[in-house]
Amino acid sequence: MSTNSVIATQPRSPQPSHSPSSQQSLPLPPQPMPPQPLPLPQPQPPQQQSLPLPAPAPLPPSPQQQSHLPSQQSLPLPAPALLPPLPQQSLQQVHPLPLPLPLPQHVGQPATAPGRAPSARAGLVARWLAWRWSGWTSPLLLLALWSAATSLGWAPEQILVSPLQVLHTTWELIESGELRQHLEISVLRLAGGFAIGAVAGIGFGLLLGLSPGLRAYTAPTFNVLRQLPSVALIPLFILLFGIGESFKIFIVVKATFFIVALAVHDAVAGLSERYIEVARVYGFTRWQIVRRVVLPGIVPATLTGVRIALSRSWMVLVGAELLAADSGLGQMMEMARQMFRLDIVMVGVVLTGGIGYALDRGLRWLEAHLMRWQRGDRENT
Partner 1 sequence: MFDSFVVKRRGALAVLALSLFSLTGAASVASAAPAAGLPESVRIAAVARNATGGKALFAGSSALVASQGWLAAELGKLGVKLEWLPVTTNSVAVQVNEAFANKSIDFAQYGDLPSIIANASGLKTRLVVPGGSLNNTYLVVPFNSTARSINDLKGKKIALHRGRPWEYPFSRLLAANGLKSTDVRLLNLNPQAGAAALASGSADAFFTLSDAFLLEDKKIGRVIWASKTPPQDWKMRAELWGSADFLAKYPQLAQLVATAYVRAHQIASVDSGRDEYIQAEAAAGQPESVVRRELDGDTRAWKARWSPLLTAEVKAHYAAEALYAKQSGLIAKPLDTSTLYVPQFVEQALVQLKLQQYWAP
Partner 2 sequence: MKQNIFNGAKGLLLPLAALAVWEWASRQGSGAAYVFVPVEQLAQGVAELLRSGELWLHLRASLTRTLQGLLIGGLLGIAVGTLMAQSRVADRLIGPLFHSIRQVPLLGLVPLLGLWVGSGDAAKLLVIVIAAFYPTVLNTSEGMRRVDQSYREVGLMLTLTRGQTFRRLLLPAALPAIVTGVTHAQAFGWLACVGGELLFAAGPGIGSLLVNAEQGGRMDVVLISVLAIALLAQTMNFLFQRAAGLLVRGRSTL
244 binds partner 2 (CB under 8 A): no
113 binds partner 1 (CB under 8 A): yes
326 binds partner 1 (CB under 8 A): yes
Q: In the complex with partner 2, which residue's Cβ is closer, 78 or 203?
A: 78
Q: Stretches 45-53, 298-306, 324-332, 360-368: which one binds partner 1 (CB under 8 A)?
A: 324-332
Site string for partner 2, 35-74 (x = CB under 8 A): ---x-xx-xx-------xxx-xx--------x-xxxxxxx
* Contact status, residue 98 vs residue 18, Cβ threshold 8 Å: yes
SS3 72: coil
Q: How many residues bind partner 2 (CB under 8 A)?
A: 94
Question: 351-375 burial, b if ≥16 CB within 10 A, otherwise e?
Answer: bbeebeeebbeebbeebeeebeeee
Residue 366 carries which side chain, given as an amino acid letter? L
Q: In the complex with partner 2, which residue's Cβ is closer, 28 or 82?
A: 82
Residue 224 interface partner, choices partner 1, partner 2, none, CB cut-off 5-8 Å depending on type? partner 2
**Segment 34-63, which members bind partner 1 (CB under 8 A)?**
none
Closest approach of partner 1 to the CB of residue 321, in Å: 11
Q: In the complex with partner 2, which residue's Cβ is closer, 190 or 279?
A: 190
135-142's contacts with Cβ under 8 Å and 24+ in sequence apart are: 135/77, 135/78, 135/79, 135/80, 136/78
**Segment 9-38, which members bind partner 1 (CB under 8 A)?**
none
CA distance 71 to 300: 13
339 binds partner 1 (CB under 8 A): yes
127 binds partner 2 (CB under 8 A): no
The Cβ of residue 243 has, within 10 Å, a number of other Cβ atoms equal to: 13
191 binds partner 2 (CB under 8 A): no
Closest approach of partner 1 to the CB of residue 365, in Å: 28
The counts of H helices and E strands in the chain are 12, 0
154 binds partner 1 (CB under 8 A): yes
Angle at 243 between CA 199 and CA 308, to 5 degrees: 35
7 binds partner 2 (CB under 8 A): yes
160 binds partner 1 (CB under 8 A): yes
Question: 205-236 burial, b if ≥16 CB within 10 A, otherwise e?
Answer: bbbbbbeeeebeebbeebbeebeeebeebbee
Residue (of 90, 86, 79, 89) closest to 130 by Cα position: 79
Residue 80's alpha-carbon distances to 75, 83, 113, 178, 183, in angstroms, are 10, 9, 15, 38, 33
Closest approach of partner 1 to the CB of residue 325, in Å: 8
Residue 341 carries which side chain, given as an amino acid letter? R
Residue 218 interface partner, choices partner 1, partner 2, none, CB cut-off 5-8 Å depending on type? partner 2
**Segment 194-253, which members bind partner 1 (CB under 8 A)?**
238-244
CA distance 161 to 179: 19
Residue 323 carries which side chain, given as an amino acid letter? L
Q: In the complex with partner 2, which residue's Cβ is closer, 93 or 223?
A: 223
Residue (of 352, 346, 322) closest to 169 by Cα position: 346
**Segment 320-349, which members bind partner 2 (CB under 8 A)?**
322-323, 330, 333-334, 336-337, 342, 345-346, 348-349
**Segment 359-378, which members bind partner 2 (CB under 8 A)?**
360
Closest approach of partner 2 to the CB of residue 202, in Å: 21
Residue 266 interface partner, choices partner 1, partner 2, none, CB cut-off 5-8 Å depending on type? none
What values do phi and psi take at 208, rounded to 5? -60, -40
**Segment 90-109, which members bind partner 2 (CB under 8 A)?**
103-104, 107
CA distance 380 to 255: 37
**Alpha carbon 270 to its chain's center:** 19
Sites of contact with partner 1 (CB under 8 A): 106, 111-116, 122, 125, 138, 141-142, 145, 149, 154-160, 238-244, 323-326, 331, 334-335, 337-341
